[in-house]
Amino acid sequence: MIEDDEFVLVKPHRSSLDDYAVKTIKIMDRGISFYGDVDNINTLVFSEYPYYVEPPKKYLPFSYRIVSGLADKIVMAQCYDTNEDIMALAYAIEQNKDVYMIGNEYELYDILNQQKIKHIENYGELESAV
């Protein structure tokens, strides 16, 4: 059960964030059978693909639309000018989510709609911003 004031992390499977610290929803980019190392302690594991389906590689980044759709706020940390990061931000902006970017990835920040992204200099500012 999730309480009203409780924090739940929604993230793609390949994210390096720790699953044990908070309740987590982990979005898989293919069928769950392809991940023998999936640990679902304190974690809901979700895939839009059936158990044994491996979609074409061009579809793998689309799991970010689910991450954005489930989240109330999007926090991008250590994001780079890659297709996955740009797609994640684009989905969040398209879905009118609050987007926070931590650090100094100014090239990516300049590419996207700056009015929709709140820039945060460090992790200490995150709690007061969110």
H or E segment at 43? Answer: strand 43-47
- pLDDT tens, residue by residue, 91-106: 888 888 888 877 665 5
pLDDT over 50 (residue 122):
yes
More reliable by pLDDT, 19 or 96: 96
65 band by pLDDT with thresholds 50, 70 and 90: confident
Q: Which phi and psi angles does 71 have, rounded to 5°?
A: -90, 150
What are the extents of the domains in the chain? Answer: 1-71, 73-130
Give the separation between CA 74 and CA 98, rounded to whole angstroms: 6
pLDDT at position 126: 65
Residue 64 burial (CB < 10 Å; 0-12/13-18/19+)? buried
Global confidence as pTM: 0.63
